[in-house]
Structure 1
Amino acid sequence: MRSRRCIRFPGEELCWGHTHEYRLCQLPDCPLGAVPFRDLQCALYNGHPVLGTQKTYLWVPFYGAPNQCDLNCLAEGHDFYHSFGRVLDGTPCSQGSPGLCVAGRCLSAGCDGLLGSGAREDRCGRCGGANDSCLFVQRVFRDAGAFAGYWNVTLIPEGARHIRAAHRSRNHLALMRGDGRYVLNGNWAVSPPGTYEAAGTRVVYTRATGREETLSAAGPTSQDLLLQVLLQEPNPGIEFEFWLPQELYSPFQAQAQALGWPLWQPQPREVEPRPPEPPAAPTVILHQTPTPTSDPCPPCPDTRGRAHRLLHYCGSDFVFRARVRGRLRQAQETRYEVRVQLIYKNRSPLRALEYVWAPSRCPCPVLALHREYLLAARRLISPDGTQDRLLLPHAGYARPWSPAEDSRVRLAAQHCPV
């Protein structure tokens, strides 16, 4: 607490504001089973005569009185209460209230620690900020294949705040940690609605009877999370959003692009609109030079690194060594015919000859004919159960086989959750 004294000459106005300012001490929470502060103050009058008689009572807090910062205590076993004056400073105003009683007034602490200041954190986590130090990432995810299984929606990077995802369908949102362990709805099992702990924050998962499903977290996250969808029917669209500090956006963008996860260019809130540009003067085109057509298949993102290998190894249904025997492009998919030579991980039997599907005419990475690769694939079953495929995700794990890569894969298997 600090105080001030108003010094003024005759005829001058009174000083503006309060004479005392209170700051909240960051004390640890009381241990479980401790006597609440208001209960303790009422109990001090147990066995003492009050009301001008020699009769004594046992006193407990009474919360129905008009002034919640008075020490109103109810006589146990009787139908009356008595006010013993003000409660001590720092007493909670009521049960479960964030406000504290100070000098007979109920005050709430702002994010600056001052009681009654009214200061609040902005969406970026800055006390008294104006949402100008972070970016708002928002998108409706409509990409997904036609087969049942897990599909990546977006990377939620470390430091994200005010996270929200929602959709309305028979599909289910799934959340995975950076080490490949699921927080909810993983391994083909639907989790019950509730609150889950992940990445240093609490994730609230709700599922309504009208097929509406939401996922929200206040943040900030202490590690990367991967939002997925467990597809059971065509994806009608998944809305997701979060706030990210500006200094963390570039690393997030680079990592998400390397892993082939979708991005939406964020925009700062309350951006000043640009003035309209004057119309350009008409020009006369004398001749046109044909521009060379660009490569229909853009270059693949860089997918090297231990984190990428560990994520795909732990999150895949199959990891195996195979030789590519053939390649066929069908509509918007590419089908590889491979001969399985060595199996590192499988959740169901693999045949000697298998088809591996890549969901694009421009798969990343491209598998060369007659070369040997280490592949991490997922099993996708169509909703009607008529098709059962091995899927090689875009920018997934497909490395040329070598003794060194073989050792790295075996090492990754030791770090996956059981």
Structure 2
Amino acid sequence: MAIHPGPADHRLLGLLCSLRPRLFRNLLLLLWTLLSCDLRGTAQGPGEWTPWGSWSRCSSSCGRGVSVRSRRCVRLPGEEPCWGDSHEYRVCQLPDCPPGAKPFRDLQCALYNGHPVLGSQKTYQWVPFHGAPNLCDLNCLAEGHAFYHSFGRVLDGTPCTPGAQGLCIAGRCLSAGCDGLLGSGAVEDRCGLCGGANDSCLFVQRVFRDAGAFAGYWNVTLIPEGARHIRVAQSSHNHLALVARDGRYVINGDGVLSPPGTYEVAGTRVVYTRGVGPEETLQASGPTSQELLLQVLLREPNPGVHFEFWLPRERYGPFQSQAQALGWPLRQPQPREVEPQPAETPVVPEAIPARVASLTPDPCGPCPDSRGRAHRLLHFCGSDFVFQARVLGRHRQAQETRYEVRILLIYKNRSPLRTREYVWAPGHCPCPSLAPHREYLLAARRLVSPDGTQDRLLLPHAGYARLWSPAEESRVLLAARRCPV
């Protein structure tokens, strides 16, 4: 049986047909809005780097050269360029070149021998010229003539000057950091770790004040194996002496004074200085491959022998046992920021750890919430300095807190900043509070005392201090563009 729609059914069908295009258009509009919002959200920050490629072959066939690796920046339309470098260069060391081998710069100048230059058909023989201002230009002297010509940049990996450590990269003279990367600026910390924060070793600093009841040699300290940055000093008519592990005197033994100079012992070089005055010093960079015995040859009352060195943490316990055997009281390590004792008070032996975080509970209460874009803009635009820093240590006093920080990246500065700085915060319990061994984005102000004797970086109360993250860094860069001129 067929069913025929009536007039009411025709009206309902017509209504649905009229609504369908409008509903479809609304769905399309909603989808486009969602996609547009997502694109606008991702376009605020920078693009992303692809993983680093592999290192290239060394630029030289012998001696020192460079290897390079690269990466690409992938970004959507409207995104900022990626932050950082697209190329990295590192030093590669091959076996030494054979005697008589032609230096790399000489080979590059020789490529133009017999070819017309300077707009004429005259040809010359070319050798390197090192008196030009830019060390990384291929400046070549015409043999037998009093002029030189610059043929552009030298090839990457060319030494800046003969015998120097710097290498030319893209027209700039760069030195390698301790990580082997050219231009990285990475340096070893006092513990010998590349880019470290001095927290894997202890700083030992003492004064030996025993006067002695008779003239002759007195034991001062054992310098343990693995010690670094050793420095010993005394100012009197007495004399320092150094004994190797086999009992052989290296400096000032058997009552005979050694001449000032450099002495090889225990895998390091010891520099001994003695001037016209009474002051003597011993210095060595280390690390020592075996222990050394430091003595003093007494000829008059001892005003004090000052010595210091950095020691791996695992070697501190054995060193304390040896110190106790020499008659010194056993002391636990003290924080680095101890108050100095008066000069007339004998200094007992003490080892000072570098920036060790406190293990006691923090008595300070929570800080007020200071998040939000308005807070970030207020402190970024009103500050003198905005930078990324790693907190190395914290010293609390009654009226203020001092943070020692290592500056990693500067976003804003109205005067120069050093690599290591102190940041001061008001109160024993500052807000925001910074934790040692963490990285932060900080906004600080410059505070100069009226008499000009103090010039400080001040972290204001309830100021800007956020744990560093790529997202937070992106927000800081956006804030920089919105500050009023």
- Quickly name the TM-score band, shorter chain normalised: 0.5 to 0.7
Change (3 A) 1:83 1:223: same
Change (3 A) 1:238 1:82: same
Contact 2:90 2:180 in 1 (8 A): yes
- Candidates 3, 22, 25, aligned match of 2:89: 22
1:90 aligns with 2:151: no
Matches within 5 A, 1:83-232: 83-232=150-299
Q: CA RMSD in A?
A: 2.9
Aligned partner letter, 1:258: A
Matches within 5 A, 1:263-302: 264-271=349-356
Contact 2:203 2:311 in 1 (8 A): yes
In structure 2, what is the equivalent of residue 79 of structure 1?
146
Change (3 A) 1:18 1:230: same
Q: Deviations over 1:148-170 (max 9, x none)?
A: 32211111110000000011122
Q: After alignment, is 175-184 or 144-153 more displaced?
A: 144-153
In structure 2, what is the equivalent of residue 236 of structure 1?
303
Aligned partner letter, 1:71: L
- Matched residue SS, 2:204: strand
Percentage of matched positions with identical amino acids: 76
Aligned partner letter, 2:125: Y
Distance (whole Å) between structure 1 residues aligned to residue 328 and residue 113 of structure 2: 65
Distance (whole Å) between structure 1 residues aligned to residue 212 and residue 102 of structure 2: 57
In structure 2, what is the equivalent of residue 254 of structure 1?
321
Distance (whole Å) between structure 1 residues aligned to residue 329 and residue 154 of structure 2: 56
Contact 2:199 2:356 in 1 (8 A): no
- Matched residue SS, 2:155: coil
In structure 2, what is the equivalent of residue 319 of structure 1?
none
Distance (whole Å) between structure 1 residues aligned to residue 358 and residue 203 of structure 2: 17
Q: How far did residue 12 of structure 1 move?
A: 1.6
Distance (whole Å) between structure 2 residues aligned to residue 149 and residue 32 of structure 1: 53
Query: Normalising to structure 1: TM-score of the pair?
Result: 0.60
Q: After alignment, is 137-146 or 152-161 more displaced?
A: 137-146
Distance (whole Å) between structure 2 residues aligned to residue 15 and residue 56 of structure 1: 46
Distance (whole Å) between structure 2 residues aligned to residue 173 and residue 224 of structure 1: 17
- Matched residue SS, 2:237: coil
In structure 1, what is the equivalent of residue 122 of structure 2?
54
Contact 2:233 2:282 in 1 (8 A): yes
Change (3 A) 1:108 1:229: same
Q: How far did residue 40 of structure 1 move?
A: 4.6
Aligned partner letter, 2:322: Q
Unaligned runs of 5+ in 1: 279-418
- Matched residue SS, 2:91: coil
Change (3 A) 1:175 1:43: farther
Contact 1:154 1:261 in 2 (8 A): no
In structure 2, what is the equivalent of residue 391 of structure 1?
none
Distance (whole Å) between structure 2 residues aligned to residue 47 and residue 154 of structure 1: 68
- Matched residue SS, 1:85: strand
Query: Normalising to structure 2: TM-score of the pair?
Result: 0.52
- Matched residue SS, 2:351: coil
Q: How far did residue 50 of structure 1 move?
A: 4.0
Change (3 A) 1:44 1:163: farther
Q: How far did residue 248 of structure 1 move?
A: 1.1
Distance (whole Å) between structure 1 residues aligned to residue 126 and residue 310 of structure 2: 52
Distance (whole Å) between structure 1 residues aligned to residue 116 and residue 239 of structure 2: 64
Change (3 A) 1:122 1:32: farther
Distance (whole Å) between structure 2 residues aligned to residue 44 and residue 210 of structure 1: 59
Q: From the CA coordinates, give the structure whose radius of gyration is larger.
A: 2
- Matched residue SS, 1:24: strand
Q: How far did residue 188 of structure 1 move?
A: 1.8
Distance (whole Å) between structure 2 residues aligned to residue 32 and residue 214 of structure 1: 41
In structure 1, what is the equivalent of residue 338 of structure 2?
none
Q: After alignment, is 215-224 or 253-262 more displaced?
A: 253-262
- Matched residue SS, 2:352: coil
Bigger RCO of structures 1 and 2 (CA < 8 A, at least 6 apart): 1
Contact 1:154 1:262 in 2 (8 A): no
Contact 1:89 1:103 in 2 (8 A): yes
Distance (whole Å) between structure 2 residues aligned to residue 35 and residue 229 of structure 1: 53
- Matched residue SS, 2:321: helix
Change (3 A) 1:13 1:192: same
Higher helix proportion (structure 1 or 2): 2
Contact 1:45 1:59 in 2 (8 A): no
Q: How far did residue 240 of structure 1 move?
A: 0.5
- Matched residue SS, 1:25: strand
Contact 2:229 2:309 in 1 (8 A): yes
Q: Deviations over 1:15-74 (max 9, x none)?
A: 211111112224456678765443454455556554334342351331x32221112233
Contact 2:110 2:126 in 1 (8 A): yes
- Candidates 71, 74, 89, aligned match of 1:4: 71
Change (3 A) 1:53 1:277: closer
Change (3 A) 1:190 1:48: farther
Contact 2:128 2:138 in 1 (8 A): no
Aligned partner letter, 1:67: N
Distance (whole Å) between structure 2 residues aligned to residue 3 and residue 184 of structure 1: 52
Q: Deviations over 1:63-107 (max 9, x none)?
A: x32221112233455432222222222222234543211222222
Unaligned runs of 5+ in 2: 1-67, 331-348, 364-485
Distance (whole Å) between structure 2 residues aligned to residue 33 and residue 147 of structure 1: 62
- Matched residue SS, 1:165: strand
Aligned partner letter, 1:122: D
Distance (whole Å) between structure 1 residues aligned to residue 126 and residue 259 of structure 2: 45
Aligned partner letter, 1:225: L
Change (3 A) 1:31 1:261: farther
Aligned partner letter, 1:60: P
